[in-house]
Copies of this chain bind each other. A is one copy, B any other.
């Protein structure tokens, strides 16, 4: 798309320059490199290496995307939308159990494949309102998914949205550790989990579910964390 800078000055409609072609090209290269490195090395992949992979200097990267979050915003929208589509497909499934179970397996499967995209649902997108918006939408759908399954007796009555988020979170940890050695181990783990949310097996949970307000603060952990 040939976008022209909007003329903010109001009065004199002075034509702006078209974007330089090399700029457009470099931007594309940067996005491709970022997609690749984020997926393989995680959302904290070194920016300089992204620049190198893209075949541009670091200066160019920072001009296009002044912060890491800016780059996230450009790159992560697509996978987040895919995630959204996933929930919606689950919602459309009249078999409530299959909806929930399928969603969980697919989500966890995606995460297990693309290692870097773990935690798409749990990282803090501080300056990225678009991403936040999509994630909020996803969470709303999940809540609805759970609610329906619960009221129709497909899953235990005390199961909550947060519980489900925690399951995917748990899965990230398992997937990360097992990826190289036993790339399918996560599946077993999820199936085990699934058994825990069937209604007929439910035993009372001691802790009350978290309040909705807590979720936001909880799941959005500060971006850089060192594990171990």
Contact = CB atoms under 8 A, between A and B. Distances in A.
Interface of A: 42-44, 118-119, 122-123, 159, 162-163, 166, 169-174, 176-178, 181-182, 184-185, 187-189, 191-198, 200-203, 205-207, 209-210, 214, 217-219, 221, 223-228
B191 A193 contact: no
Contact of A227 (B163, B181, B191, B227): B227
B119 A228 contact: yes
Given A201-B201, A206-B188, A228-B43, A217 B181 contact: yes
A209 B170 CA distance: 18
Total identical chains: 2
A228 B39 CA distance: 10
B185 A174 contact: no
B228 A185 contact: no
Given A170-B170, A170-B171, A163 B177 contact: no
Contacts of A178: 218
B195 A201 contact: yes
A166 B43 CA distance: 24
A79 to B, nearest CB: 14
A185 B207 CA distance: 7
